[in-house]
Amino acid sequence: MQLNTFSILPVVFAIAAGALVPNSVSFAASHATKHATQKKPTPDAPAPTPLAGQTAVAGGTPAIAAKAWLLMDFDSGEVLASANPDEPLPPASLTKMMTSFLVEQALRSGKLKKDDLVSVSQTAWCRGSSTESCMYLPLNSQATVVDILRGIIIQSGNDASKAIAEHMAGSEEGFAKLMNAEAKRLGMTHTNFVNATGLPDPEHKASARDLAILARAIIRDSSDYYPIYAEREFKYNGIKQGNRNALLYTDPTVDGLKTGHTQEAGYCLVTSSKRNGMRLITVILNTNSAQARADQTRTLLGWGFGNFEKATPIQPNTVVTTAKVNFGKADTVAAALGSPWTVTVPRGQQVQTSVQVKPDLEAPVAKGAVIGKVVASSNGKPVGEAPLIAQADVERAGFMLRTWQRVAKLFGK
State the catalytic residues. Answer: 93, 96, 156
The amino acid at residue 327 is F
Is there a contact between 379 and 349 (Cβ–Cβ < 8 Å)?
yes
Contacting residues for 266 by C-beta, under 8 A, at least 6 apart: 45, 48, 66, 67, 285, 286, 287, 288
Q: At what angle do helices 145-153 and 96-109 cross, to 10 degrees?
A: 150
DSSP tag of 202 = T
Cα gap 292→95, rounded to integer Å:
20
Cα gap 281→90, rounded to integer Å:
19
Q: What is the DSSP string of 78-106?
A: -EEEEESTT--B--GGGGHHHHHHHHHHH
Cα gap 266→262, rounded to integer Å:
6
- Looking only at Cα atoms, what is the longest distance across the chain? 90
Cα gap 299→287, rounded to integer Å:
14
Cα gap 329→338, rounded to integer Å:
24
Name the residue among 103, 87, 67, 89 with its Cα closest to residue 196: 103
Residue 202: Cβ-neighbour burial (10 angstroms; 0-12, 13-18, 19+): exposed
